[in-house]
């Protein structure tokens, strides 16, 4: 397998590997800095990033913006020359404020999903001017279907006369919130499947065909990264053979020494069996993938879980109607309270059998 650098706007990563963003508190400065230091792209998740700040319960936005800068500086201290950025969910309340803070902090790239980042070019350009930056960070929307890819590419073309610097194609074997309906998950990833299905391979080819049409118009390449279920070299090779320029990997980095999560969260991955990985419904109606535990049994049984006052995480959330609070559940995960937590994971997370280093994981993939 020939390893080529990954060009991202004005920056270049030595390795075509992106560490996926994982919130709450799983991919912070330590993990992102370690991955960037090895030549990959290190990504910090902004999702409730300030949960350890003393004023998080009183002023979650202020705490998150403060922690965003702290974690970026931490990553940069570990990798002064590496490519480091943020994953920012479109579904976040105050999305634009997180984008501005990421640009001001010095992000090399902003990856954005959980919705289509329709006006990210405008937000980033304005933020870069305000921050006095000479160059803007690379912009990378996350899509899962050809329809989503076509919508975002056409919109950016018509409104902003620009293309993404990277397109992340997140498949049905990914962890956390998924960009599919329940019917699409059944179509693209049959139960128990550990590899990309033939149906989703066709979807990937359709996405790439759409991407190529915009490349022809602009006379430049749009790098594409495939994500979801890539846990070994064979699957990485498969992704590249399908036409990908890079891979995005998340779950493999959870069980590393450098991952920011509590050791008990990492051990939950190691203990999990294949049958423990299930599709769950987020409080805001989105499907996701997680490890079955006592908390999930309560939720799946229809129990209403009491929650803390609203931390204003997702703009579609109605605290009076949700079965549980996703912030509470993910903060418990980050703190290692694993039986009372939502343990997001990829489809192949159950294969983890030991704690590794970031370097070992990268060497096993490329």
DSSP per-residue string spanning 77-146: HH-TTSEEEEEEETTBTTHHHHHHHHHHHT-SEEEEESS--TTHHHHHHHHHHHHT-SSPPEEEEEESSH
- How far lies 321's CA from each of 24, 25, 81, 119, 130, in Å? 22, 25, 46, 30, 39
pLDDT digits (tens, 9 = 90+) for 162-172: 999 999 999 99
Identify the H or E element spanning 360.
Answer: helix 358-365
User: Residue 72's closest CA among 23, 29, 127?
Assistant: 29
SS3 of 346, please?
coil
pLDDT digits (tens, 9 = 90+) for 181-234: 877 887 887 556 677 788 999 999 999 999 999 999 999 999 999 999 999 999
In this model, does residue 240 exceed pLDDT 80? yes
Residue, of 196 and 266, whose pLDDT is higher: 266
304 pLDDT tier (thresholds 50, 70, 90)? confident
Mean pLDDT of 16-26: 96
Instruction: Name the least confident of 207-216, 254-263, 290-299, 355-364.
Output: 290-299
Task: Map tokens 């699409």 to a residue.
Answer: 184
Is 338 within 8 Å of 265 (Cβ atoms)? Answer: yes
Q: Determine if the peptide bond prior to 24 is cis (ω within 30°).
A: yes
**In this predicted structure, what is the pLDDT of residue 320?**
59
DSSP per-residue string spanning 247-302: EEE-HHHHTBTT-SS-HHHHHHHHH--GGGEEEEE-TTS-EEEEE--HHHHHHHTT
**In this predicted structure, what is the pLDDT of residue 193?**
65
The encoded tokens of residue 1 equal 């397998």
**In this predicted structure, what is the pLDDT of residue 310?**
62
**In this predicted structure, what is the pLDDT of residue 353?**
97
The C-alpha angle with vertex 363 and arms to 233 and 31, in degrees rounded to 5, equals: 110
Strand partners, 60: none
Q: Distance between terminal CA atoms of the chain? A: 8
Mean pLDDT of 265-274: 97
The mean of the pLDDT values for the chain is 92
SS3 of 65, please?
helix
Those residues whose C-beta lies under 8 Å from the C-beta of residue 183, and which sit 6 or more positions away, are none
309 pLDDT tier (thresholds 50, 70, 90)? low
| Sheet architecture: strand order including 277-281 | 176-177, 287-291, 277-281
Is 149 within 8 Å of 121 (Cβ atoms)? Answer: no
Percentages helix, strand, coil for the chain (3-state, rounded to 5) are 40, 15, 40
User: Residue 79's closest CA among 36, 108, 120?
Assistant: 36
**In this predicted structure, what is the pLDDT of residue 164?**
98
Alpha carbon 217 to its chain's center: 29
Strand partners, 177: 288
pLDDT digits (tens, 9 = 90+) for 56-75: 999 999 999 999 999 999 99
């Amino acid at each position: 397998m020939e390893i080529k650098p990954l060009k991202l706007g004005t920056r270049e990563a030595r390795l075509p590997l992106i560490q996926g963003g994982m919130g709450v508190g799983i991919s912070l400065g330590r993990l992102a800095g370690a991955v960037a230091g090895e030549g990959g792209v290190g990504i910090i998740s902004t999702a409730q990033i300030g949960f350890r700040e003393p004023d998080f319960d009183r002023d979650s936005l202020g705490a998150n913006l403060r922690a965003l800068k702290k974690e970026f500086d931490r990553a940069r201290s570990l990798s002064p020359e590496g490519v480091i950025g943020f994953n920012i969910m479109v579904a976040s309340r105050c999305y634009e404020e997180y984008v501005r803070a990421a640009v001001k902090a010095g992000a090399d790239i902003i990856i954005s999903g959980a919705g289509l980042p329709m006006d990210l070019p405008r937000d980033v350009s304005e933020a870069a001017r305000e921050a006095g930056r000479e160059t803007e960070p690379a912009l990378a929307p996350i899509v899962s279907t050809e329809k989503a890819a076509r919508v975002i590419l056409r919109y950016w073309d018509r409104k902003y006369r620009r293309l993404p610097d990277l397109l992340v194609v997140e498949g049905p074997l990914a962890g956390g919130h998924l960009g599919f309906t329940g019917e699409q998950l059944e179509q693209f990833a049959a139960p128990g499947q550990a590899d990309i299905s033939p149906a989703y391979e066709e979807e990937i080819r359709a996405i790439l065909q759409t991407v190529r049409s915009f490349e022809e118009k602009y006379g430049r390449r749009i790098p594409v990264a495939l994500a979801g279920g890539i846990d070994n070299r064979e699957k990485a090779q498969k992704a590249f053979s399908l036409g990908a320029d890079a891979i995005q990997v998340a779950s493999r980095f959870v069980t590393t020494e450098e991952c920011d999560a509590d050791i008990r969260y990492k051990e939950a991955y190691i203990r999990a069996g294949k049958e423990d990985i299930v599709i769950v419904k987020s409080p805001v109606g989105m499907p996701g993938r997680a490890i079955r535990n006592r908390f999930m049994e309560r939720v799946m049984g229809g129990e209403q879980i009491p929650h803390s006052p609203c931390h204003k995480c997702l703009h579609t959330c109605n605290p009076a109607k949700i079965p549980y609070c996703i912030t509470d559940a993910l903060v418990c995960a980050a703190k290692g309270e694993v039986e009372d937590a939502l343990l997001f994971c990829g489809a192949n997370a159950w294969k983890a059998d030991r704690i590794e280093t970031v370097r070992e994981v990268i060497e096993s993939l490329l």
